[in-house]
Amino acid sequence: MARVSVPQSPLFGSVAEVTERLAEAGYLASTAVATTVYLADRLGKPLLVEGPAGVGKTELAKAVAAATSSGLVRLQCYEGIDEARALYEWNHAKQLLRITAGQGRESWDETRDDVFSEEFLLPRPLLTAIRRSAPTVLLVDEIDKADVEVEGLLLEVLSDFQVTVPEMGTIVASRRPFALLTSNSTRELSEALKRRCLFLHLDFPDAELERRIVASRVPQLAESLVEALVRTVRVLRELELRKAPSVAETIDWGRTLLALGLDTLDDDAVRTTLGVVLKHQSDQLKAAAELRLN
């Protein structure tokens, strides 16, 4: 069952190429981001991206997949996720039918060999990514939400890009996926997991980069309105809010203003559209007081 991993060409030829191709995919990367993506690809190491929610961690994985014409396999982590949801499980209903059908006609050894075969295996994201022969980006999203035990499952995958199925043997990736893990830092990840990864911390972009991002995603928006939008969002992020506005919400705000036909971000416009970027009533009240909205 084991397959031998063979050398493969890198996805990117240089840091500049990473920047250019991610931009073509709609992701404006800083030099630090482009450099880390290049090194993760060139060294064949997983990339762990930490940072607050909404700074573009998941979008980075999607952009790498789009820029390299790779398939995207996503494992969305959550509290209680287990091996069956992350790695693989057996189709027990189908196995039971097969066992019932074989009773009295064949030995148990024959039945067992059959029910623990490819036909009855249900691959989940980790195994799916390992088995793909086409270029693949494996996104393990919000790994900090999963239990520590799930990190143990990842160690074999991220160390050797292989998965062991006891009944079938070890499956080794014939083509190593580009693995990207994201974390919102809600808990500390294990040192064993971190050792296997390159690390990138993503924070909210500076004003100039955010202006460029909004302008690229909402090109119909006037430059002066983009400027006002980014300036206002940065003021909001300096407040002690339950949830600071993400870059995605800045973009949504721009699209909202465009849809409403607004050409200025005055008090009335902010008051009527603040719910696009602030999703808690307490945050809206605090922002209204800070911005002196009536």
Q: What is the mean pLDDT of residues 71-83?
A: 92
What is the reported pLDDT for 144?
92
**1-5, 53-57, 146-150: least confident range:** 1-5
Q: What integer pLDDT is reported at residue 108 of this predicted model?
A: 64
* Average pLDDT of the segment spanning 159-169: 84
| Helix %, strand %, coil % of the chain (to 5) | 50, 15, 35
- Residue recorded with tokens 């705000």: 253
What's residue 109's pLDDT?
66
**pLDDT band of 2, cuts 50, 70, 90:** very low
Convert the pLDDT of each residue in 28-61 to its tens digit.
Answer: 999 999 999 999 999 999 999 999 888 999 999 9
Task: Please provide residue 74's backbone torsions phi and psi, each rounded to the nearest 5 degrees.
Answer: -115, 125
Averaged over 64-73, what is the pLDDT?
A: 96
| 198, containing H or E segment | strand 198-201
Q: Give me the residue label for tokens 């940065």.
A: 234
Whole-prediction pTM value?
A: 0.85
Name the DSSP letter for residue 191.
H
Angle at the Cα of 50 from the Cα atoms of 47 and 56, rounded to 5 degrees: 90
User: Is residue 242 predicted with pLDDT exceeding 60?
Assistant: yes
Report CA-CA distances (Å) from 2 to 117, 155, 166. Answer: 14, 18, 12
Tens-place pLDDT, residues 193-229:
999 999 999 999 999 999 999 999 999 999 999 999 9
- Residues of the chain with pLDDT > 90, as a percent, come to 59
The C-alpha atoms of residue 156 and residue 127 are separated, in whole angstroms, by 11
50: enclosing H helix or E strand = strand 47-50
Instruction: Give me the pLDDT at residue 155, please.
Output: 85
Mean pLDDT of 133-148: 93
Q: Identify the pLDDT of residue 294.
A: 57
Q: Report pLDDT for 15.
A: 97
Q: What is the rounded average pLDDT for all residues in the chain?
A: 89
Buried b (16+ CB within 10 A) or exposed e, 47-58: bbbbbbebbbbb
pLDDT at 6: 47
Query: How far is residue 146's CA from residue 78's CA, in Å, rounded to a whole number?
Result: 5
pLDDT of 5 over the 50 cut: no
Provide CB contacts within 8 A for 105, sequence distance 6+. Answer: none
Phi and psi dihedrals of 163, rounded to 5? -135, 135
Location of structure tokens 């991610």: 22
Mean pLDDT of 93-109: 75
pLDDT > 70 fraction of the chain, expressed in percent and rounded:
95
pLDDT band at 104 (very low <50, low <70, confident <90, very high): low
pLDDT value, residue 7: 54
Do residues 25 and 66 touch, judged by C-beta distance below 8 A? yes
